[in-house]
Amino acid sequence: MGVWQRMTLIFRSKANKALDRAEDPREMLDYSYQRQTELLVKVRRGVADVATSRKRVELQIGQLEQQSAKLQGQAEKAISVDREDLAREALTRKSALTTQIGELQTQLAQLQGEEEKLTLAQQRLSAKVEAFRTRKETIKATYTAAEAQTRINEAVAGIGEEMGDVGLAIQRAEDKTAEMQARAGAVDELIASGALDDMTAIGGSDDISRELESMSSRSDVETELAALKAKTHGEIGGPASAGELGSAAPAEPMQAGAEAPGQQPAQQPAQQQVQQPEEGRA
């Protein structure tokens, strides 16, 4: 297969596919009915033309018959007055008219046959066109109902062109809404963390607010850290160290004469030595 033949085949296949998409059965049926109606009109016009020709031939035959009858009377009158020559001439003309009348009668018979044929064909074609019209309307109604049902089913299933466009529009709107919400949340977080300045703040209130928030954040961290330590030691179940107990609970007041744990009693003899001279002096 040559290049030109392949190009021709491809073009025809593409054109055929495009025509299939553009073809509407209802329009084709209407066009076919229109062509049949035009053909029926032509047949009726042909029947009318044949009938007109037949009628014209009949009129001509009638006129020739009248002339023939007139010549017959003239010939008889000429014979009555002994004018044989005139009678012969009248009969000669009558004979020519008789020949013409015979030819016209032959044409008339042919025209009558053609008229009968055309009339019968016109009746058959008219019945065929009427039956086609009835079937055409039935097919069009069925096709319209099927097309409407298909569109309804596609709309319900969401696979139609219109519903597909609506679904895409909804999806784009949802995506844009989610993007704007995410952007708003990110900007709020950046403003709260201090990465972005709030341009609507007045004077130094923004710095004070950030400092207060920072102090609150540190306090929260310390509180959570202490709670985490207490929870950890409670889960282990071991005694807390003296440093942790001293920091956790305040020291109780010591009674007079009691020794603090871990303290040596070295100062007590010195105090007794100091008190003894005072008693001797007394």
Q: How many whole angstroms separate alpha carbon 61 and alpha carbon 67?
A: 10
Domain range enclosing 41: 3-157
Overall average pLDDT of the 140-160 stretch = 80
Overall average pLDDT of the 163-185 stretch = 81
The domain that contains 13 carries what CATH number?
A: 1.10.287
Token pair recorded at residue 264: 């040596």
Overall average pLDDT of the 38-63 stretch = 92
In a domain, 69, yes or no: yes
Residue 248 is predicted with a pLDDT of: 44
Between residues 242 and 231, the one the model is more confident about: 231
In a domain, 39, yes or no: yes
Residue 60 is predicted with a pLDDT of: 92
Number of compact structural domains in the chain: 1
Residue 190 is predicted with a pLDDT of: 78
Residue 281 is predicted with a pLDDT of: 43
In a domain, 140, yes or no: yes
C-alpha 98, offset from chain centre:
81
In a domain, 67, yes or no: yes
Q: How many whole angstroms separate alpha carbon 79 and alpha carbon 44?
A: 52
Degrees (nearest 5) of the Cα angle 151, 152, 155? 85
Length of the chain as a residue count: 282
Q: What is the DSSP string of 187-252?
A: HHHHHHHTSS--TT--TTHHHHHHHHHHHHHHHHHHHHHHHHHHHHHHHH-PPPPHHHHHHHSPPP
In a domain, 190, yes or no: no
